[in-house]
Structure 1
Amino acid sequence: MTPDDDLLEHVDDAAEVEAQQRDVPRTGPLRFARMTGSSIAGRDAAPWVTDFLNAAYYRRAVDAREVDDLRFAFAVLTTYWYNKDTHRRLHVNDLPAFHKAFGAERFHTDRSARGTLSREQLEDSAAQLIGDWFPAAYADDARRGWGIAFATVADREAYNPERRRVLAKLGPLTPESAPPAEQVWHTYPAVKVASVEAVVAALLRTETWPDYASEIGRFTPLRAGGLDGQTFEIEVAAGTDSGRPVFTRGYVTITQLVTPDDPDALAAYFAQLEDGLARYGDDEPRAVPEGGVPAVGFDLTTHQGHFMGNGHNRLILYTLDGEAYVQAAGTWDPMPWHIDRAYRLAGSQAQHAFWGQGAIERLSMLHQLALAVAAR
């Protein structure tokens, strides 16, 4: 595989994306309704992609689910997309290849429950679809990144995340703009981690963020480089307990990052956060408990069409009594009606669980991050 630094010079792809962007409303319910699924899959691929993910994970009984099997299944989709010569989305004409590799396996009840795929079946079929090297490459940190498994380390180093950003239809940034008293200020439960240093080291390697995906959400970086200024595609699934997930996506960019390298900026960032929670939160606790020491903070600001509307979330790290913690805290404008209705029907519980509410490890990205860091 050769480097694709000249991706944006592919006239056919750029023309396709520009046409799609012209067709998508920039604001309001219609744009929101079209922000479904993944940027790498066209609308005509949604049924078979969802069916594949259901067989690989969501159709299993809850107590039989292993989150890394879901990450593996997503890697199959993403690697297959990346290895296509067309640089386009997955479409219905990609279904025969997946059906040939995975279809019959779903009826081998001696290997898995009917209609599902075991990890062994996923690996065997992925080797048939993509190549014998794929299962080992997925298991190799040096050949995995951006949710893709690469045949060689050189292939991984040649990856250009702009290929996916071209398909992302990014709108402008949409930070909260309502008066602070009308905004929603909310903190999520803190999650204990091995150390601040270990988590920072993990988060700075943005290509590894898909490794911390949970049952209900995943972050994929869309730009080269590290954390500051990085843009992520967020894919979220609601209704996963029922085995009938509903997928949507949104985009965020890191617009502020504070570290101990600038103590004044770090202190001001956390002082502003605590002041906002005290003034405008609805009985919200402090982000950093009394006696805690702030370590790192960064803002994830929404782009137009985000499933939560306009606002930004924060990830913060702090220490308390010799232990390290990571936590999310968000600030949002009141939601427009079309977003509020969807959020109440399908997104609220998923959003809270994703950031650690309830401490259900398979659902929470922060718990998956903590587990991954502890295992290293």
Structure 2
Amino acid sequence: MTPPEETVHDEDLLEHVDDAPEPDAAGAAEVEAEQQKVPRTGPLRFARMTGNSIAARDAAPWVTDFLNAAYYRRAVDDREVDDLRFAFSVLTTYWYNKDTQRRLHANDLMAFHKAYGSERFHTDKSARGTLSRAQLEEGAARLIGDWFPDAYRDDARRGWGIGFETVAAKAEYNPERRRVLAKLGPLTPESDPLDEQTWHTYPPVAMPSVEGVVAALTAPETWPDYASEIGRFTPLREGGLDGQTLEIEVAAGTDSGRPVFTRGYVTITQLVTPDDPEALARYFADLEAGLAKYGDGEPRAVPEGGVPVVGFDLTTHQGHFMGNGHNRLILYTLDGKAYVKAAGTWDRMPWHIDRAYRLAGSQAQHAFWGQGEVVRLSMLHQLALAVAAKERASAS
């Protein structure tokens, strides 16, 4: 979903809808053809890892323009992150409800234009070229169905970033359908000598409770609910955390209103909990030893006096925007309070990844994991807000 050089509007793109290539009849055929085109390694494969797996490259301009209108084109002070999550849910639900297992294409623009086109020019409802939350919901009702706005607000009918008409429809969802489109490469854990790897920790983010965080993180279908302005995780397999594969969509340059999108994939390759105290203790001891020896002044993962609770590894797949390595999410308590933080270990980046990371990815990566405490940018801060809201609702 890399944005065009200039802002593209629906009425501009409509002139070219009839020229758009027809999608393949079956998603599997489309994926097979794409896989033959995409290099398995190197700069070209990295360059094509844009946007998300459900949108083909010919859909990139209108998908990006829709997200800009829903969120990124707004002034920073007028942004509500849940409006962005709602917009992504509109795209994902529309894709899921289509008859064929294929990506979104240029010729899907017509349906979105009918639902939203004129709304962006009603300046009495929102700034020109943008969509208010009310306009987003009204358009979604026209595009998907009157039931969708309520379904989005209903935990029982929302999952994987999709709004479902009924609870039964949600129970029938198979996340493997999206994984087929993802073109997953092999796992790529770090392999450089330990003293040449990067070991890094991010600041901890306070959480309302251990129980709330565990309930949230062990339900992967809820992870899109914690998406921030610059990143989101979508699970691609059935089941819980252990062995789960996730698509990561990251946006850089969001302050300018002209975001650049890329994506990567990770699989949870190790999970430790209090159910196995020995494995839990060994995991954190190894992490602390590695940070102390190779971390170039990095602080401890768990401060002195802290008590580890949960840890898991997110190992990259080929083509990840940070190269080979793995990140960790850890949950611990300190002085009766719960905290979550990230700690990563990475190989030296190939030149094409290093250049992109330095130009656009570094600041986004740090902000996403909580550095700087800009709440709208950080997934962990969004997680804390969601857990707190759920606990307030349960207590009322």
Instruction: Normalising by structure 1, report the TM-score.
Output: 0.97
Match of 1:290 among 291, 304, 309: 304
* 1:293-304 matches, cutoff 5 A: 293-304=307-318
Task: Tell whether 2:76 aligns with 1:38.
Answer: no
SS across alignment from 2:26:
helix
Q: Distance in 1 between matches of 2:371 and 2:78?
A: 22
Match of 2:137 among 123, 126, 150: 123
Which residue is equivalent to 1:136?
150
Task: Tell whether 2:238 aligns with 1:220.
Answer: no
Q: Distance in 2 between matches of 1:171 and 1:252?
A: 10
Which residue is equivalent to 2:27?
13
What whole-Å deviation, never above 9, does each CA across 1:49-80 have from its counterpart, x for those lacking one? Answer: 00000000000000000000000000000000
Task: Tell whether 2:168 aligns with 1:168.
Answer: no
SS across alignment from 1:328:
strand
User: Deviation at 1:12?
Assistant: 3.2
On the 8 A contact 2:316/2:325 being kept in 1, the answer is: yes
What whole-Å deviation, never above 9, does each CA across 1:261-290 have from its counterpart, x for those lacking one? Answer: 101100000000000000001210000000
What whole-Å deviation, never above 9, does each CA across 1:143-184 have from its counterpart, x for those lacking one? Answer: 000000000111000000011000000000000000010000
User: Deviation at 1:11?
Assistant: 8.8
Q: Distance in 1 between matches of 2:62 and 2:145?
A: 21
User: Deviation at 1:39?
Assistant: 0.2
Which residue is equivalent to 1:308?
322
Partner amino acid, structure 2, of 1:29: P
Task: Tell whether 2:252 aligns with 1:260.
Answer: no
Which residue is equivalent to 2:12?
none
Task: Tell whether 2:114 aligns with 1:103.
Answer: no
Q: Distance in 2 between matches of 1:296 and 1:187?
A: 16
Q: Distance in 2 between matches of 1:359 and 1:85?
A: 42
SS across alignment from 1:269:
helix
Which residue is equivalent to 1:4?
none
Partner amino acid, structure 2, of 1:333: D
Match of 1:94 among 108, 123, 133: 108
SS across alignment from 1:36:
coil
**Structure 1: segments with no counterpart, 5+ residues:** 1-9
Q: Distance in 2 between matches of 1:83 and 1:189?
A: 40
Aligned length: 367
Q: Distance in 2 between matches of 1:235 and 1:11?
A: 27
On the 8 A contact 2:25/2:100 being kept in 1, the answer is: no
Q: Distance in 1 between matches of 2:331 and 2:362?
A: 24
Which residue is equivalent to 1:72?
86
Match of 2:380 among 363, 366, 369: 366
Q: Distance in 2 between matches of 1:119 and 1:162?
A: 31
Task: Tell whether 2:224 aligns with 1:242.
Answer: no
Q: Distance in 1 between matches of 2:202 and 2:245?
A: 22
Partner amino acid, structure 1, of 2:206: K
SS across alignment from 1:374:
helix
On the 8 A contact 2:340/2:380 being kept in 1, the answer is: yes
Task: Tell whether 2:346 aligns with 1:346.
Answer: no
Partner amino acid, structure 2, of 1:222: L
Which residue is equivalent to 2:346?
332
What whole-Å deviation, never above 9, does each CA across 1:342-372 have from its counterpart, x for those lacking one? Answer: 0000100000000000001100000000110
SS across alignment from 1:362:
helix
Which residue is equivalent to 1:25?
39
SS across alignment from 2:300:
coil
Q: Distance in 2 between matches of 1:278 and 1:261?
A: 27
What whole-Å deviation, never above 9, does each CA across 1:184-233 have from its counterpart, x for those lacking one? Answer: 00000000001112101111110000000000000000000000000000
User: Deviation at 1:87?
Assistant: 1.1
Q: Distance in 1 between matches of 2:195 and 2:30?
A: 43
Which residue is equivalent to 1:179?
193
On the 8 A contact 2:206/2:384 being kept in 1, the answer is: yes
**Structure 2: segments with no counterpart, 5+ residues:** 1-23, 391-396
Q: Distance in 2 between matches of 1:12 and 1:124?
A: 31
Aligned Cα root-mean-square deviation (Å): 0.9
Could you tell me the percent identity over the aligned residues?
A: 84
